[in-house]
Amino acid sequence: MPTSDQHIAQATHNESLLTLFREQAMYKEYSDWYVTIAFYAAIHHVEAMLYALKRPMRGTVAKHSSDLRKVLGLQSDHGVRRWILKLEFCNLYDSYMDLYQLSQTAKYNCHLPSDSDWSKTVSLLEKMKAECEIVRMGHK
């Protein structure tokens, strides 16, 4: 599994593409990809935080959401992250779910996010990044 630093590097990589989209004014034309990339950046921030915590959950030391998939009887890492965030990090749960829904709607319902969706995406990602970093830095 990737380390915390590797997850941060991937999140930064994703965020640099978001910056390019903004600088080239492509975020409106590709707003569906913009929200999806932002969601995946948020996933890497959450995974980096989990790796840094290495917190025992249900008898398993979870360094990655996939470490808990079988233990929790869940089908996906998304489901595991939702479970962890809802129970352990309530302040991140709503932001994660909002980004998840924006991404899902764009990807599967052929919905092009609006300017307000774009602004909300930026705000949600920044909040998640900051909150995850506070937790991660407190456990390094």
Residue 99 in this model has a pLDDT that exceeds 60: yes
Residue 69 in this model has a pLDDT that exceeds 90: no
pLDDT in tens, 8-34: 999 999 999 999 988 888 877 888 899
Residue 39 in this model has a pLDDT that exceeds 90: yes
Q: What is the pLDDT of residue 18?
A: 93
- Angle, in degrees to the nearest 10, between helices 4-23 and 115-138: 160
- Percent of the chain at pLDDT > 70 equals 99
- Angle, in degrees to the nearest 10, between helices 77-88 and 31-53: 60
Distance CA 68, CA 109 (A): 30
Distance CA 85, CA 68 (A): 13
Task: Tell me which residue range forms the domain holding 10.
Answer: 4-138
Distance CA 88, CA 79 (A): 14
Distance CA 132, CA 137 (A): 8
| 63 vs 85, higher pLDDT | 85
Provide the domain count of the chain. 1
**Residue 16 near residue 10 (C-beta atoms within 8 A):** no
Which residues are within 8 A (CB) of 116 and not within 5 positions of it... i.e. 6 or more apart?
Answer: none
Find where tokens 């990807």 sit: 107
